[in-house]
Amino acid sequence: MQVSFILPLYNQLALTRACLASLRATVPASVTHEIILIDNSSTDETREFLQELAPPHVVLLNDRNLGYAAANNRAARVAQGDFLALLNNDLVLEPHWLEPMLAAFASHPRAGVVGNIQLHATSGAVDHAGVVFCDGGYPVHHRGDLAELQAAGGITEFPAVTAACCLVRREWFLRASGFDEGYHNGFEDTDLCLRAREDGFINLVATHSVIRHHISSSAGRGAYEYRNARRFLARWAPRAAALEREWNLKLARDHAALAAQRYFAPLHRKLGFGHRALRRSHRAALMAERRARRASSGRIRIGIDLLRLQPGGANGGIKPFVLTFLAEIARQRGSEFNFALFAPAELRDELAAVLRPGDYLLEPAEGHFTVSLRQPKGWRAAGTLSLADNVAAKAGLDVLYAPFGTSQFMQPGLPCVSLIVDLLHRDLPAALPVEEVNHRHKWFTRVAAEATYFQCDSHYVIGRLCEQYGVNPALCFHTYNAVQDRFPATGSALPAGAPEEPFFFYPANFWPHKNHETLLVAYRLYAQAAASRAWPLVCTGHPDARMDLLRELRDGLGLSDRVIFLGHVRDEAFTALWARAGALVFPSLCEGFGMPLLEAMRFGVPIIAADSSALPEVAGDACVQVDARDPQALAETLRRVAIRTDLKDALIARGHARLAAFSLELEAGRLAHFLAAAARRQAP
């Protein structure tokens, strides 16, 4: 089905009848559709009218007035269409209003929410042609002359549109949890549009789609204006104010260009300036306009500091996270971005899959960086950059991306997006040497003062960053590490030493906060109770001195034949391990995200995870949560998951359902949005 039309109702039966009549008359015969009418406990004759309707009408009745947001959200959950057409019941839909909105999605793959031009039903004046911001970020309708608006183009980008009549993809609307039900009949639509922008989409107005609207005909329409505005501004004021500044600059540029064309040239002639001065004036105005246009729409060069990246798995999950995101951004928006990767020379082969023709790789050498240009068939030497120079300026960077939080290239005037994956030095300082704790605190303090935006891998990390370093929440955004599909669907044979029977699987580097010691003690308790029925325990991770110490602990506990350390394994071998694993056990004491949880969901593996840090946020109800500091509780959980088939089946089903909340396309699109916003100086 193509479109689900959703109309929330509360009284106003005459308007509802007229709206439905215009809808039926204007839906193209080629569009398969349903009309979902959801009544918020009307007190007039609306319910009697709804009982008379037949398919394609779908009627939902609420026992009480849930409000605009909740009613739409309920309807969206039962909708079947690819698109949701959100409509007020006080609209009069004109012929051919739907086709331009559908065409906007067809011609703009990154379209988020598409609105249209709405005329006042009585006066015929334009009431809405997009939403802009004023007075520090307050949303207002953009208006104007209809002919001029349509002459500017069939599709125009705006920060937001009204949901009195708009089109949105159902899949994204549901993934974004629909309208924020904390609002009450106001501001829900602008909030939704700004969330779409954060997910990397653009909001559009189809100017050749025109309808009429009985403005604010619902009773008590403005009764909650103050409360709604306060909620909206608490979340969005800094970013909305940045969009307001951008809009005002656009108006100023347009005004300057118009003034140069209409007024300056006649004035020059009147004052007697010669043709040469007139040409200079026109040329200066033209060049200023071109510079402004390049600044707002030119290709963005992103400097990406990967100098701390190492071969193999020494960096843990940050490596597949960052490289997968960069590859997805290149796929989505390759024409908008140009990459300049700073990385060690030994990673050239791994990075070749991320870099596209026209991107740069800058490899450190003695006193300089060697610059190589990626070409369709290999690399071309492109010179060197001396460390004594301002490398960022010489490389022409528009924005710096720091996946390890800080970067030697950070400097005043260069926008920077810093990735913060956890605050281990604050949350579990005993897991780090004191020198490392002090070092991290020092660079966190610097980054908190200098970064333009902070990319965090969970809401949990955002909260900790704001609490510990006073960062403004408006500067933070989260991107879940949705890279679970990076493993091939089928794998190679099991790596040497891996058991054939089901096993508990713990893929994690052997860092202290990963809590292997408690797991080994808990596993011994479990193995003693389960005897010959005990599943083996398989641990993978970058081999280091701590892995050797853990092996000694394993042997001391008498578990050498049941606990297997495989070291670092390749992606194909990981697929084989996931296919054979009986359950994931993830007792880490401090996680900003926890990528193996998504991998387990993808491969249908039950999950046991710690009940702390970001793990409950990621796992939801798709795991058994346990106090990972309590060996006895952990051992009992291992026993339950191993023997209870019903529990395993329930966890697997919940995991498959939970996985729908994690989309690489959306998460990478959100990062791309903030990189572009930082480069365009659209920061609070």
| Cα-based distances in Å from 475 to 201, 402, 591 | 19, 15, 21
Is there a contact between 315 and 309 (Cβ–Cβ < 8 Å)? yes
What distance in Å separates the CA atoms of residue 662 and residue 598, rounded to the nearest whole number?
8
Least confident of 100-114, 196-210, 246-260, 384-398: 246-260
Is a pLDDT exceeding 80 seen at residue 404? Answer: yes
Q: Per the structure block, which two tokens stand in for 506?
A: 């713990």
Q: Whose CA is closest to 22, among 2, 5, 43?
A: 5
In this prediction, residue 279 carries a pLDDT of 56
Three-state SS letters, 494-513: CCCCCCCCCCEEEECCCCHH
Amino acid at position 400, single letter: L
Taking the CB of residue 98, how many other CB atoms lie within 10 A of it? 26
Using CA atoms in the order 95, 100, 105, 107, what is the torsion angle rounded to 10 degrees? 150
Is a pLDDT exceeding 80 seen at residue 622? Answer: yes
Residue linked to tokens 């709405």: 118
In this prediction, residue 1 carries a pLDDT of 73
In this prediction, residue 643 carries a pLDDT of 96
Is a pLDDT exceeding 70 seen at residue 257? Answer: no
The secondary structure of 395-413 as a DSSP string is TT-SEEEETTS--TT--TT
In this prediction, residue 599 carries a pLDDT of 96
Least confident of 40-54, 281-295, 311-325, 380-394: 281-295
**What average pLDDT does range 306-311 have in this prediction?**
94
pLDDT in tens, 435-449: 999 999 999 999 999
3-state secondary structure of 537: strand
Is there a contact between 210 and 97 (Cβ–Cβ < 8 Å)? yes
User: Is the preceding omega at residue 376 within 30 degrees of 0, hence cis?
Assistant: no
In this prediction, residue 297 carries a pLDDT of 52
Mean pLDDT over each residue of the chain, to the nearest integer: 91
Residue 168 burial by Cβ neighbours in a 10 Å radius (0-12, 13-18, 19+): buried
Q: Per the structure block, which two tokens stand in for 492?
A: 């190679």
In this prediction, residue 683 carries a pLDDT of 79
Taking the CB of residue 643, how many other CB atoms lie within 10 A of it? 12
What is the pTM assigned to this prediction?
0.83
Percent of the chain with pLDDT over 70: 93
Q: Per the structure block, which two tokens stand in for 286?
A: 């033209």
* Helices assigned H by DSSP within 181-264: 188-198, 225-259
Least confident of 126-135, 164-173, 191-200, 260-269: 260-269
In this prediction, residue 249 carries a pLDDT of 80
> In 331-488, which ranges are E strands?
337-342, 360-365, 368-375, 378-386, 399-402, 416-420, 453-456, 476-478
Is a pLDDT exceeding 90 seen at residue 642? Answer: yes
Three-state SS letters, 544-567: CHHHHHHHHHHHHCCCCCCEEEEE
What distance in Å separates the CA atoms of residue 40 and residue 30, rounded to the nearest whole number?
31
In this prediction, residue 377 carries a pLDDT of 87
Sign of CA dihedral 314, 418, 335, 368: negative
pLDDT in tens, 161-219: 999 999 999 999 999 999 999 999 899 999 999 999 999 899 999 999 999 999 865 65
Is a pLDDT exceeding 80 seen at residue 663? Answer: yes
Is there a contact between 506 and 591 (Cβ–Cβ < 8 Å)? no
- Cα 172 from chain centre: 11
Is a pLDDT exceeding 60 seen at residue 285? Answer: no
Residue linked to tokens 């249908």: 604
In this prediction, residue 3 carries a pLDDT of 97
pLDDT in tens, 314-365: 888 899 999 999 999 999 888 899 999 999 999 999 898 899 999 999 999 9
What distance in Å separates the CA atoms of residue 399 and residue 508, rounded to the nearest whole number?
32
Q: Whose CA is closest to 2, among 29, 40, 42?
A: 29
Q: Which residue has the higher pLDDT, 303 or 255?
A: 303
In this prediction, residue 362 carries a pLDDT of 96
In this prediction, residue 4 carries a pLDDT of 98
Least confident of 121-135, 242-256, 618-632: 242-256
Is a pLDDT exceeding 70 seen at residue 260? Answer: no
